[in-house]
Structure 1
């Protein structure tokens, strides 16, 4: 039943997203989690505390977040039950996916570059990546958008679907809490090096299966997109994925890079600090363009459709087998 729930939730989010009117009225589950993280960060992460105490506070924060997200989700799922309740649970679960918003934000980068040039593209890409936008030329803006699309397809779509299928609404809500914590406090900065350690390590763990599945989905989607190479995508995954500084981001990024014939990742600047990283795909082949963002979006949508079809087929098989 959880596999069917994941399929229905993806379909619901693809169809209606998260309405702006609802967001203005009550916010969003991620904003609720974010407020709790900010509160715990302020209370348990005093810079005057020794590193060991701050790390312990980070472990406690992650435990509180998982319980605060998972227990209410379990209560909702139990109360709604099956039948019509399953559809209602799927609608609630759809708020934990980012299919529509991800495509819209990445597409906005291509539109800005095409219509208004580099400065507009830099503004658009700054909304989805953390690197220094003023240091990016047009090709770097395009690469950043494509990298964000690949990584967030894993984190914002495939991983929530995986944990929804594996653990129902509580599993998906707990995953979202962990992933949000990593995005807020899982950075190697003086403030969060110790406090965010638990969030970062747990996020690496829970994203491990989805990142590999995302790479396979991108490879499988290549025959559906003109000009995308499944063979090059698979070779890039095998050759480059483990060279990425993240244990997970390299898998979807390498698949996307190989499929499009681009070099992604590599050295880049965050907050004025240069971060060294391995290249995904064959470097130096050509510069990325807004047209490549469009092709990446087509590949993303095809891979997303395959994910929905995979879950739907698995659900039908499980129902048929009783």
Structure 2
């Protein structure tokens, strides 16, 4: 039964449940990263090669080559992960699911996201604004020198919200839908968007397909993430599920991104904050709508509140997956 994780949906859900558990407990070990790298780095190398080799010619030619390059990327990732799925299937159903779950655990980033955002709060408390700017520069693309303490805190919370969607919920959704291959294909699309999906002279044409496809595949996860944060707020005495719901309904559609506004609005409403809004990336000023109607003066304590809400939402997601596994297997 080499194709179990693709033809038998309960197996994909089982892979997802185990992968989330392994990643939450262990993360991606530093020793393994030093020895072998990470799937995202492998995918990134292929994207860089395609960019270097294909991104030339007229605007229309580069757009067409970008579509073809994305197709090559997805074909390579699909072929590799289908081969792994087939090989794992020969180990039998139980061992096959375990093997694929450990491989799939490299795709979500629950633990590393928590660690990186928590470092911003710790740096602000122990090293002041300079340390906070240095820590937040590791997780956001905006100019850290332009940020005061409140802006550093908002940037960390925005990063937590958006990356909860595209770094945790989205890979989980696609693993549940298509096993290891589904999750890996999502990660390839998301990595391509982060590398070439920018409106710059070099990548506006070549990265067009990656950016549009990333918007599409992130659509279900962004809505699910907002719901998870609203549900988590209902379990937190220091958050408001009602305000989170109202912020999502009122503000999410006004964000410049078709997906980022949903988790950011939910987080902002739940914590009584304002997130997003005008900000600077390099030399570019982005005039974006505010998410939430609370205070803009965020502090390290608000980052910690956001992390607490994030952990509750991760727990709710895992619980929902476990219930789905139980229903799928008739337990």
**In 1, Cα distance between equivalents of 2:24 and 2:39:** 18
Q: 1:296 aligns with which of 290, 306, 311?
A: 306
For residues 157 and 129 of structure 2, the distance between their equivalents in structure 1, rounded to whole angstroms, comes to 16
Q: What is the CA distance between 1:226 and its match in structure 2? A: 3.1
Partner of 2:227: 216
Q: What whole-Å deviation, never above 9, does each CA across 1:185-209 have from its counterpart, x for those lacking one?
A: 0011111111110000000000000
What is the match of residue 7 of structure 2? none
1:220-231 to 2 correspondence within 5 Å?
220-231=231-242
Is it true that 1:32 corresponds to 2:42 in the alignment? yes
Q: CA deviation at 1:7?
A: 1.1
Tell me the equivalent position of 1:80.
Answer: 88
* Number of the residue aligned with 1:108: 119
Deviation readout 1:162-199 (Å, 9 max, x if unpaired): 00011111111100000000000001111111111000
* TM-score, length basis structure 1: 0.97
Question: Following the alignment from structure 1 to structure 2, what is the Cα–Cα distance between the partners of residues 315 and 125?
Answer: 37
CA distance in 1, matches of 2:221, 2:296: 29
Cα separation, 1, equivalents of 2:325 and 2:262: 26
Q: Deviations over 1:20-54 (max 9, x none)?
A: 001110100000000011111111113xx100111
Cα deviation 1:277-316 (Å, max 9, x = unaligned)? 1110005x35100000000000001000100100010010
CA separation in 2, counterparts of 1:78 and 1:89? 10
Runs of at least 4 residues of structure 1 off by over 6 A? none
* Residue 58 (structure 1) aligns with: 66
Q: Give the match's secondary structure for 1:175.
A: helix
**Partners of 1:17 and 1:221 in 2: how far apart?**
22
3-state SS of 1:298 partner: helix
Q: For the residues of structure 1 that align with 2:209 and 2:147, how far apart are their CA atoms? A: 32
Distance 1:248 1:101 in 2: 22
Alignment partners' CA distance in 1, 2:237 and 2:98:
36
- The offset of 1:217, in angstroms, is 0.2
In the alignment, which residue of structure 2 is the partner of 1:239?
Answer: 250
1:320 corresponds to which residue? Answer: 330
2:329 is paired with a residue whose SS is helix
CA distance in 2, matches of 1:114, 1:61: 45
Q: Is the 8 A contact 2:150 2:296 kept in 1?
A: no
Deviates more, 1:237-246 or 1:65-74: 65-74
Q: Is the counterpart of residue 156 in structure 1 residue 167 in structure 2?
A: yes
**Deviation of 1:251 (Å):** 0.3
If the length of structure 2 is used for normalisation, what is the TM-score? Answer: 0.95
Match of 1:199 in 2: 210
Note the residue ranges of structure 1 that are not aligned, 5 or more in a row.
Answer: none
RMSD: 0.9
Count of matched residue positions in the alignment of Structure 1 and Structure 2: 318
Measure, in 1, the Cα distance between the counterparts of 2:52 and 2:319.
Answer: 43
Q: Is the 8 A contact 2:275 2:296 kept in 1?
A: no
Match of 1:269 in 2: 280
CA distance in 1, matches of 2:135, 2:178: 35
